[in-house]
Amino acid sequence: MVGICVISARGGSQGVPGKNIKRVLGKPLIVWSIEQAIATPEISRVVVSTDSPEIAKIAKSAGAEVPFLRPQHLSNSEAGKFQVWQHALEACEKEYNEKYNFFVDLDCTNPLRDVDDISAAISQFKEAQTRNIDAVFSVCEARKNPYFNVLEKSDDGTLKICKKGQDGQWIVRRQDAPEVLEHVASIYVLSPEFLKSNAKNLLEGKTEGYYIAPEKTFDLDSEVDLELIEFFLRKKLQKNRQSLLDVVGKRVVLVGATGVLGSYYSQMLVAEGCIPVLVDRPGSTVITLGAELGVQAFEMDVTNEQEVITGFAQIREQFGDIDAVINNAAVTSEGLASGGGDPFSPFEKSSLDVWQAAIDVNLTGTFLVAREGGRLMKENGGGSLINVSSIYGVVGPDHSIYDDMPFKSFAGYSASKSGVIGLTRWLASWWGKDNLRVNCVSPGGVFNDHAVEFEQRYAAKTAMGRMANPDDIAGMVLYLISDASKYCTGQNFIVDGGFTCQ
Ligand SMILES: NC(=O)c1ccc[n+]([C@@H]2O[C@H](COP(=O)([O-])OP(=O)(O)OC[C@H]3O[C@@H](n4cnc5c(N)ncnc54)[C@H](O)[C@@H]3O)[C@@H](O)[C@H]2O)c1
């Protein structure tokens, strides 16, 4: 079904001068409706009918089409809305050589409706075709009821309730009063045939009401309305702003899922309503962790090209599209320390194996996961690739804080983590136009039952005077998964309690 939306906006207005382009929360009033119409999937063309070149210019820059300027006889305060619709329909059919299955009008003085309301009114109209309904338009339950609390004056000036009940008696309880509706100037969906008939106004047709929520019923007629509209719009925007951070239903591949941070992220993804796939090296506890959390889990050695290729192919097959990949696997100094041996000899005697392990896992593994995971997301229309570096990819360590500790900072770690930041920037510019964002999170030291001495030495080097907890880092990961970061790419987000700021 092809549908056109026409937004009518006269240049002149008696109540609030210039109201159709008055700025409401910083945006010309008409632009709110244009943006809603453009975002409504059922509407294929958005047209503004106006007599004002100024409104036409604003409408065009907001994405609407203005194929004609409305003639003067349809632009004064006497002109009826119905005639304006009839004119717009005829002009658009001619201009675009198109026929429409439905005609939508959005009142530009009411920006409070949602795109979902427009879609729902259109579906109601489509469904009502079986009952030969000519139009569906927005209504709400009237705040006052003429059977109960709307008054009129008698001939002698005394007051009485407007209407008696069907039995001719006055109604004394509100719940006994018949339902009465208010016509809300917001959404109209009409049949083009009805507009081409001899009808002169909306209510000459067979109509049904689309019930719209009470807080969306205000339209701009006076300065008081403006305050009300801004109040409810602000509330709505605040709600939407929260939902930008909403990650419910996001499909996220977490690589390096069983370590200190990975195991925390795994639980967080489940708690936040994401659909995670957990990945870690063969021999790790990833399958058990997946079973415990009730989510899918895969074993994959990120240094093995074939395993990464096959692993992501399997993920695609069993899991479908993905929204984000957290590239979190690494060889860390604590990981090396717990593996036994002494990987932390002085640099002059340092082992090539340790260097190579860091490059293989932290840099080559990050590259392979980026390539395979990124390709999947690119093919699915985009996503968020989150690489993980470290403060030691950004600044050199103060080696003295590791004196007498069982683990140390080692060169391969810093070199590989700096490489991850470079890779992030390169990939961000490579994939930017594919809606695939690539960012990096660089955590500071996370407390993991360290010796008190080490904790104190480390904490003294941070502005906030403490080591991180996993949840301190996790917020940044969530932000990067969410749409709140939708314009961020190529950045290294350092989350270190001020370790690198001083
Ligand atoms: N914890 C910190 O203090 C800290 C500080 C800065 C940066 N980071 C970074 O955050 C990330 C997570 O750190 P963490 O402390 O949880 O580390 P961790 O050592 O506890 O976990 C690393 C994870 O990577 C996995 N892994 C290692 N080699 C792998 C391979 N070949 N294939 C697949 N998986 C492999 C491990 O099994 C483990 O699950 C790492 O990238 C790390 O460099 C951590």
pLDDT tens, residue by residue, 51-72 = 999 999 999 999 999 999 999 8
- Note the pLDDT of residue 225: 86
Rg for the chain (alpha carbons), in Å?
Answer: 32
State how far the Cα of 220 lies from the Cα of 225, in Å rounded to an integer. 5
With 90 as the cut, is the pLDDT of residue 227 above it? Answer: no
Tell me the pLDDT band of 338, cut-offs 50, 70 and 90.
confident
Spacing, Cα 332 to ligand 1 middle (Å): 6
Written as one letter, the residue type at 230 is E
Work out the percent of the chain whose per-residue pLDDT is above 90: 79
Atom of ligand 1 nearest to the CA of 258: 39
Spacing, Cα 448 to ligand 1 middle (Å): 13
For Cα atoms 169, 170, 172, give the angle at the middle one, nearest 5 degrees.
125
Q: Whose CA is nearest to atom 40 of ligand 1?
A: 330
Spacing, Cα 259 to ligand 1 middle (Å): 6
Average pLDDT over residues 487-499: 98
With 70 as the cut, is the pLDDT of residue 341 above it? Answer: no
Q: Whose CA is nearest to atom 42 of ligand 1?
A: 330
Average pLDDT over residues 310-324: 93
Average pLDDT over residues 103-117: 95
| Catalytic status, residue 413 | yes
- Note the pLDDT of residue 17: 76
Atom of ligand 1 nearest to the CA of 261: 16
With 80 as the cut, is the pLDDT of residue 79 above it? Answer: no
pTM higher than 0.95 = no
Q: Which domains does the chain have, with CATH numbers?
A: 3-142+180-244 (3.90.550.10), 143-178 (no CATH), 251-495 (3.40.50.720)
Tell me the pLDDT band of 86, cut-offs 50, 70 and 90.
very high
Q: Whose CA is nearest to atom 18 of ligand 1?
A: 259
Q: Are 162 and 215 in contact (CB under 8 A)?
A: no
Burial of 35 (0-12, 13-18, 19+ CB in 10 A): middle
Q: 478-496: string of b/e by CB count within 10 Å (b at 16+)? A: bbbbbebbeeebbbbbbbb
Select the highest-mean-pLDDT range: 70-84, 265-279, 331-345.
265-279
pLDDT tens-digit profile of 113-151?
999 999 999 999 999 999 999 999 999 999 999 999 999
Residues 6+ apart with CB under 8 A from 29: 19, 20, 21, 22, 23, 108, 109, 111, 220
With 70 as the cut, is the pLDDT of residue 454 above it? Answer: yes
- Note the pLDDT of residue 394: 98
Atom of ligand 1 nearest to the CA of 467: 3
Spacing, Cα 366 to ligand 1 middle (Å): 11
Choosing from 287, 305, 328 the residue with most ligand 1 atoms within 8 A of its CB, the one to mutate for a pocket test is 328
Report the chain's mean pLDDT, rounded to a whole number.
93
With 70 as the cut, is the pLDDT of residue 91 above it? Answer: yes
- Residue in the block written with tokens 């939902």: 243
Strands 296-299 and 275-280: parallel
Residues 6+ apart with CB under 8 A from 176: 165
Least confident of 7-21, 432-446, 477-491: 7-21
Average pLDDT over residues 305-320: 94
Choosing from 253, 254, 260 the residue with most ligand 1 atoms within 8 A of its CB, the one to mutate for a pocket test is 260
- Each as own residue / partner, the long-range contacts of residues 349-353 (CB below 8 Å, 24 or more positions apart, any chain) are 350/410, 350/411
Query: In the structure, which protein residues have their CB atom closer than 6 angstroms to any atom of ligand 1?
Result: 256, 258-262, 280-281, 284, 300-303, 328-332, 335, 361, 365, 388, 390, 443, 445-446
Average pLDDT over residues 338-350: 80
- What is the rounded end-to-end Cα distance, in angstroms, of the chain? 62
- Note the pLDDT of residue 111: 94
For Cα atoms 437, 496, 358, give the angle at the middle one, nearest 5 degrees.
70
Spacing, Cα 410 to ligand 1 middle (Å): 15
- Residue in the block written with tokens 């006052």: 144
Tell me the pLDDT band of 340, cut-offs 50, 70 and 90.
low
Choosing from 255, 261, 424 the residue with most ligand 1 atoms within 8 A of its CB, the one to mutate for a pocket test is 261
- Note the pLDDT of residue 366: 98
With 90 as the cut, is the pLDDT of residue 415 above it? Answer: yes
Residue of 413, 458, 479, 487 marked catalytic: 413
Average pLDDT over residues 166-194: 93
Spacing, Cα 277 to ligand 1 middle (Å): 17
Average pLDDT over residues 368-394: 97
What would the 3-class secondary structure string for 442-483 be?
A: EECCECCCCCHHHHHHHHHCCCCCCCECHHHHHHHHHHHHCH
